[in-house]
């Protein structure tokens, strides 16, 4: 039986990788992918705790997180398409219209 702490450490490492990708990358598509990595890290933690506590609520929460992630990906990618139509650019440090 694998202790639940191992799953939680794995989730933390994945979340840190996703956070670094979101803050550090320039390409907005890979920033959105990093958000997906972070959401999946949260899913790993929720599913592990749900199984170890024998409570079904954690697994139901994973289900809803997956639904919300699908909605977020649709909206985020359509915003990327709009950004590319407007600026011909997907690098977030080049888009500085609001910065003046």
Partner 1 sequence: MEKVLFGYLCIAMLGSALLAVFSRNAVKAVLWVLVMFLHQAVLFLTLQAEFLAVVQIIVYAGAVLVLFLFVVYMINLREEVRLPNFVSSYPWAFIAAFGLLVLSVAGLSGYRTARAAGVLTPEALLRYGHARILGEHLFREHFLAFEVAGVLLLVAVLGAVVLVRRIREGAI
CB of 12 to partner 1, least distance (A): 5
Query: How far is it, in rounded angstroms, from Cα 27 to Cα 23?
Result: 11
- DSSP SS3 for 91: strand
- Residue 92 CA, chain-centre distance (Å), reads 17
Least distance in Å: CB of 4 to partner 1? 6
Nearer to partner 1, 70 or 97 (CB): 70
Q: How far is the CB of 99 from partner 1 (least distance, A)?
A: 14
* Residue 18 · residue 32 · CB < 8 Å: no
């Amino acid at each position: 039986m694998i202790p639940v702490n191992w799953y939680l450490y794995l989730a933390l490492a994945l979340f840190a990788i996703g956070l670094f990708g979101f803050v550090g990358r320039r390409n907005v598509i890979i920033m959105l992918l990093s958000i997906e990595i972070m959401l999946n890290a949260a899913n790993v933690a929720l599913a592990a705790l749900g199984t170890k506590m024998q409570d079904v609520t954690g697994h139901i929460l994973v289900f809803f997180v997956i639904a919300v992630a699908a909605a977020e990906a649709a909206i985020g990618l359509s915003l990327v398409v709009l950004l590319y139509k407007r600026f011909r650019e997907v690098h977030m440090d080049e888009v500085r219209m609001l910065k003046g």
